[in-house]
A and B are shown apart, each in its own frame.
Chain A
Amino acid sequence: MAILKVVDVDKCIGCMSCMQACARFRYQSFSLYRAALQVKTRGGISSGFQVNTCLGCTEPMCAEACPTEALIPRKGGGVVFRQNLCIGCGECEKACPVDAIRMDPQWHIPIVCVQCGICTQYCPHEVIQMVEEVVPHVDK
């Protein structure tokens, strides 16, 4: 199964459309915070952008840390989130080694990537793509 990859971050123009799409489709929300991926500058706009997103681990530490199995490994990489099992403890957020999970302060659920790929459909430069084979992630 395909997983989300940051293919070429240097092509990012910082429009934030991917983040808005994630919030819009997955959470029916108007938000930059409720987006599983985060576009930021590396230190001011002239320094270029970085896109921080779930790496789609094959042995996801977030799922290992989840005490209720609300997060379980997904076939092909990443996780499946079962909201009805989530108690909002935030262990997944602490466990993620690349800070790709944040707890929503109002909803008490993790904002976590489920590899749906909607964000890639709103990237004007194909910076992010759904990629089939699992290759080691290289952050440029």
Chain B
Amino acid sequence: MWINDVRVLHIDLTNRKVRLEHRPDLKDWIGGTGAASKLFEELQGHEIPAGDDKSPIIFATGPLNGVLPLMTKVVSIYRSPYTGDWGESHAGGRLGMVMAYAGIDLLVITGKSERPVYLVIGPHSVEFKDARHLWGLDVFTTGRLIRLHEKRASGRRSILRIGPAAERGVKFAGVNVDTFRHFGRLGLGTLMGMKNLKAIVVVGDDSTHFGVNPEYTKFYKEIYDLVVGSDLLHKYHDLGTPQNVLPLNSIKSLPTKNMQKTQFEYAENISGEYFADNLLVRKIACSGCQVGCIHVGLLREQFGPEHEYKYTQVSYDHELIFALGSMLETKTAEEVLKLIDQVERLGLDAISSGVALAWTTEALERGIISEKDTGIKLQWGDTERYLEALQMLAYRVNDFWHLLGEGTMAAAREYGGEDFAAVLGQEMAGYATGPVYYVSQAMGVRHSHLDTAGYSFDQKATEYTPEAALEYIISEDRRRVVLTSLVSCLFARGLYTWDRVKKGLSIIGYEKQAEEAEEIGDEIRRLRWKLKVAMGYDPDNVKIPKRYFETETFRGKPDPEFTNKLIKMYASHIKELIK
């Protein structure tokens, strides 16, 4: 593992070859995002067309995965089939800890299997297994059949799999990780589908020789006590991310009805409080985290006359509740769970899917498209129809749904309706706080609310100017890129201050990286932007759809002058950075 050596496992699906590479030099990039970006550049991932057989997928842990609490994430880097440029997605679950115990620091997958295949990867083995019987199956059935057949190291393994949407090349298909977590955005699932790679099982049942000393044990205890004994992570444990729903709604920041509104009259019904009081059945954790933020709701459905019931466990979060709830005017939490469950089965990205359906509903209303195109009449709040529409989207049943599967903006370009496509680089996340958030997602390196959290600046800034916003964005980006190189969960950003990050790095012998953490953060930022631009991203060509200027936010209706100035300044900063 990272502490002694850096082991890169290369798997070539075309030739079914495996190669182990030792790369201690990658420690200069800390790990995670940093090391994977560097490796992506070396493999010339930016030169290989998106979706090409050779296009690499890199999974990376970092030096602190499993070593300290909440160091639980795995970073994936790839060329996004959705945007055509930088693909980066992070997932929790067990994968981070399991990779640490499998002795695999970076996993690189290239090539394309001739037939559907799944991989079983352990500390001392790589197996290519026939997956013809799994092709076409939904995410949950696939998981069940793999668990049934693969007995090894139950409890110390992680199972990644894709669903029908990815197999059919929907550009925003995700990867399900351990049932309740995901590499959701920017089409990692799509890329796996293109490679005929249905699933990856990683088995982590090795022990490592990392020297456990008293200093480490003491620091672990210090962090552990903060996790379980302070308020730092209380919100994630208690209501979880859905605690955002009501506060955002009250400050006109909850995207509703395809961003026609930012307040939803049924927000109470889909609030974190409602879910917790009525539907929450359990909370679970990613391996190595004592918070347990994964909130699992109970979906109880009648399937026959009299008292025929079935139940399903569905994990819910703010982003899913906004995208499949308020954006579609879904009026009850139970219906939101149904929609989430459908998205999970099909292996779609929940945010993109919800936003795409919201656009479709408005486009139908406005007559830009007709029922002839969609084959179904969609109406706000009509869950049964939306459940069917998700299926049509995943299976790409006709030209319209095929095109929508390329992305909401792709469909809008063809049919019209770009002005009201809620797309900021990719379909928006659940924060209509104001122009800084809009710009931060539209221009963030992975177009994620987690890039720089502009929503926080919108809500908290006292000096609200483009200059102050850019300064905030840059400092957040630098800090977050170091955290995602460790690889930390970003919910731990309050816990892992610069000081604690540096102490953690020092304890495992990364003294140099601890000393130069901020500079390394800038280097990683530079590298990512350089590669993103090399793949065709143009920071001067960023557009915020008209809808965003028409709808009230916490900061009122965004001022175009303010917004455009911030875009210009941000673009200049990016160009300066990579010069």
- A: residues with CB less than 8 A from B are 10, 13-17, 20, 23-25, 28-34, 38-41, 43-46, 48, 106, 122, 124-125
Contacting pair B66 A122 (CB below 8 A): no
- Give the residue name and chain of the A residue nearest to B211 (CB): A28
Q: Given B67, B204, B284, which contacts A14 in the complex, CB threshold below 8 Å?
A: B284
Could you say which residues of chain A place their CB within 8 Å of the CB of B289?
Answer: 15
Contact string against A for B residues 555-570, beta-carbon threshold 8 Å, 1 for contact and 0 otherwise? 0000000000000000
Q: Given A13, A31, A34, which contacts B284 in the complex, CB threshold below 8 Å?
A: A13
Contacting pair A44 B288 (CB below 8 A): no
Could you say which residues of chain B place their CB within 8 Å of the CB of A40?
Answer: 154-155
Contacting pair A13 B220 (CB below 8 A): no
B180 CB-CB contact with A under 8 Å = yes
B285 CB-CB contact with A under 8 Å = yes
Contact string against A for B residues 271-315, beta-carbon threshold 8 Å, 1 for contact and 0 otherwise? 000000000001111111110100010000000000000000100
Q: A13-B283, A14-B287 are in contact. Are A39 and B155 (CB under 8 A)?
A: yes
Give Cα A41–Cα B151 distance, bound, in whole angstroms. Answer: 12
Give Cα A43–Cα B100 distance, bound, in whole angstroms. Answer: 23
Could you say which residues of chain B place their CB within 8 Å of the CB of A38?
Answer: 155
Q: A24-B212, A46-B179 are in contact. Are A29 and B207 (CB under 8 A)?
A: yes
Could you say which residues of chain B place their CB within 8 Å of the CB of A33?
Answer: 101, 156, 205-207
Q: A13-B284, A124-B228 are in contact. Are A41 and B155 (CB under 8 A)?
A: yes
Contacting pair B144 A17 (CB below 8 A): no
Could you say which residues of chain A place their CB within 8 Å of the CB of B284?
Answer: 13-14, 45
B188 CB-CB contact with A under 8 Å = no
Contacting pair B69 A17 (CB below 8 A): yes
Give Cα A14–Cα B208 distance, bound, in whole angstroms. Answer: 21
Contacting pair A28 B285 (CB below 8 A): no
Q: Given A17, A23, A34, A43, which contacts B147 in the complex, CB threshold below 8 Å?
A: A43
Contacting pair B180 A24 (CB below 8 A): no
Give Cα A15–Cα B284 distance, bound, in whole angstroms. Answer: 8
- Give the residue name and chain of the B residue nearest to A15 (CB): B285
Contact string against A for B residues 94-137, beta-carbon threshold 8 Å, 1 for contact and 0 otherwise? 00010011000000000000000000000000000000000000
Could you say which residues of chain A place their CB within 8 Å of the CB of B285?
Answer: 13-15
Q: Given B147, B204, B292, B296, which contacts A44 in the complex, CB threshold below 8 Å?
A: B147
- Give the residue name and chain of the B residue nearest to A125 (CB): B292
Could you say which residues of chain A place their CB within 8 Å of the CB of B100?
Answer: 30
Contacting pair A29 B212 (CB below 8 A): yes
Q: A17-B224, A44-B144 are in contact. Are A30 and B212 (CB under 8 A)?
A: yes
- Write 19 A-B pairs (CB below 8 A) sorted by A numbering: A10-B282, A13-B284, A13-B290, A14-B285, A15-B287, A17-B224, A20-B66, A25-B217, A29-B212, A31-B207, A32-B204, A32-B207, A33-B156, A33-B207, A34-B207, A40-B155, A41-B154, A46-B296, A122-B290
- Give the residue name and chain of the B residue nearest to A30 (CB): B210
B178 CB-CB contact with A under 8 Å = yes
Contacting pair B224 A31 (CB below 8 A): no
Most interface-central of A15, A17, A25, A46 (chain B CB within 10 A) = A15
Contacting pair A32 B205 (CB below 8 A): yes
